Amino acid sequence: MPNVFLVGAGPGDPGLLTLRAKEIIETCDVMIYDYLANADFLKWCRPDCEILYVGKKGGDHTLPQDKINELIVDKARSGKTICRLKGGDPYVFGRGGEEAEELVEAGIDFEVVPGITAGVAAAAYAGIPVTHRDHTTSVCFITGHEDPTKGESGHNWAVYGQSSSTLVFYMGVGNLPMIAENLMRNGRAADTPVALVRWGTRCNQQSFVSTLENVAADAAERGFKAPSIIIVGGVCSLHDKLGWFEKKPLLGQGVVVTRAREQASGLVEILRGHGACVYEFPTIAVEHLDDYAEVETAILQLARYQWVVFTSVNGVKFFWEQLSAIGLDSRIFGGMQIAAIGPATADELKARGIIPDFVPDKYVAEHVVEGLLALGIQGQDVLIPRARVAREVLPEELKKAGCRVTVLPVYETRLVQQSGEEITAALDKGAIQYVTFTSSSTVENFFELVPAETLRRYPDVRLASIGPVTSATLARFGFTPSIEPGDYTIPGLVDALVGSVAPDKG
């Protein structure tokens, strides 16, 4: 088996990474990655993985290519599994061929994992098919930045200028005036459509269409810099008609997700689906208890309860984990009624064969109690599996109604981040427009890491709260959320956030 993998990371959108690439990232001993490889992929590395950055950006080389080659060979000779992660495809202007040759000379086995190249993906995300029967039947990929040590140029400008192919230039924005001039001098019409796509497929993608004679001046006026793809040809005229990605309502909007990492994936994916630049900043971690003896006892005595009230998805998961550990299943709930505080919690129960008897219309404790009282819970025995630390409103109100309430901790939460420096740095750059809060604990822990006084320095940053309880916690720190959905759910929060930004996008 090879122990070196030359892996294409794709153009940047995490959804465009191949399954094989993800498998290698998750299992490698050493990760050697480039500037254009999405750093978000590093979260899939094992905790003990050695991570080395060797990126090259506009002439600023962390390591020159020959030293990168030596590094790969040295690490491979140690017997470790190496993932050499490169933006796009390793063999499309990625210098993967040079690295492969070094490995062959060193007698080291390797495998190439192709990636989606930016020349196709960035164009597609900008509404430009690189081939189209009404415009062209061929495409040519060209480097816009040749090896300066070569004796002569490898470009045949006469062929490029007279060709009807779509021309896609990589790494060429710095040489854009020269590229346009050479194409026009060799036969391409001055009014030929030309598109530039910067940071293609990523949440900060930008694109525009000009003409060959005007594109250099237009790019300079717009401040277009690397990394940008240059596309030349009639297919660029389809940009406005077929463009889809840049119509996403949250494109370019920086959104902080403070939810626990175990729960955040759904919210992160929904936000990314709307084009947001998501900053994952989980302020809490959900963890097992040190001792589950009390939980086991409660499960074995479950028959004495008339109601079990689950207040969260985690409550369901951790309770069922212990249920399974002692060889029991959903049949143990026979004869009793079950409440789920929210649709996500209800779905988690349904996945385990339990259809809740009660799901409130609004997901705050005060409203829940009102609904349970309407169902005759007064005076009954109630079990509430939940976090060790949580709001006491629900059990206290049920006790006032004469219920005999047992609060059963089945998991606990703790502060997980060590520092708020990453978020503060992004705030300083103006990269964050929204901070989302999905519970009181995310508010409290966020301000533990990013002091309230720090956040006050950025009055344009809008706070999004999932509901009134979370908003009340924000108020304790002196903040009023700009966004609070009427439906206190994750989809409701996202819809409210999208609705808040849509008018600004016209």
| Segment 42-72, tens digit of pLDDT | 989 999 999 999 986 655 556 888 999 999 9
Residues 130 and 235 in one domain: yes
* pLDDT tens digits, one per residue of 109-140: 999 999 999 999 999 999 999 999 999 999 99
Mean pLDDT within 457-479: 95
Question: Which parts of 243-341 fold into alpha helices (H)?
Answer: 261-273, 293-300, 313-325
Residues 278 and 421 in one domain: yes
Residue 235: other Cβ atoms inside 10 A: 23
Per the annotation, the verdict on 171 as an active-site residue is yes
* pLDDT tens digits, one per residue of 306-345: 999 999 899 999 999 999 999 999 999 998 999 998 888 9
Looking at residue 369, its pLDDT comes to 86
Looking at residue 149, its pLDDT comes to 61
Mean pLDDT within 160-170: 96
Structure tokens at 108: 């080291």
Q: How far is CA 143 from the centre of its chain?
A: 30
Residue 206: other Cβ atoms inside 10 A: 18
Domain that holds residue 308: 287-415
- Among 22, 56, 317, 362, the active-site one is 56
- Alpha-carbon span 445 to 458, nearest angstrom: 19
Looking at residue 506, its pLDDT comes to 40
CATH number of the domain at 217, please.
3.30.950.10
Boundary residue ending a domain (116, 137, 168): 116
- Among 13, 31, 89, 171, the active-site one is 171
CATH number of the domain at 389, please.
3.40.50.10090
Residues 101 and 23 in one domain: yes
Residues 50 and 112 in one domain: yes
3-class DSSP state for residue 486? coil
Residues 160 and 242 in one domain: yes
Boundary residue ending a domain (116, 145, 180): 116
Looking at residue 351, its pLDDT comes to 95
| % of the chain beyond a pLDDT of 70 | 95
Per the annotation, the verdict on 67 as an active-site residue is no
Residues 182 and 233 in one domain: yes
On the question of pLDDT at 384 being above 70, the answer is yes
Residues 341 and 222 in one domain: no
Using omega within 30 degrees of 0 as the cis cutoff, is the peptide bond preceding 227 cis? yes
Task: Determine how β-strand 110-113 pairs with β-strand 4-8.
Answer: parallel
Work out the pLDDT band at 368, boundaries 50, 70, 90.
confident
Residues 59 and 175 in one domain: no
Beta bridge pairs of residue 286: 413
Picking from 4-13, 90-99, 109-118, 366-375, which range would have the lowest pLDDT averaged per residue? 366-375
Per the annotation, the verdict on 60 as an active-site residue is no
pTM of the model: 0.82
Residues 340 and 445 in one domain: no
- 443: part of which helix (H) or strand (E)? helix 440-449
Give residue for tokens 């006790």.
399
Task: Determine how β-strand 166-170 pairs with β-strand 82-86.
Answer: unpaired
On the question of pLDDT at 75 being above 70, the answer is yes
- Alpha-carbon span 44 to 37, nearest angstrom: 13
Residues 190 and 88 in one domain: no
3-class DSSP state for residue 289? coil
Looking at residue 57, its pLDDT comes to 61
Residues 236 and 125 in one domain: yes
- Among 13, 31, 34, 86, the active-site one is 34
**94, 227 contact by CB (below 8 A):** no
CATH number of the domain at 46, please.
3.40.1010.10
Residues 311 and 402 in one domain: yes
Count of domains observed in the chain? 4
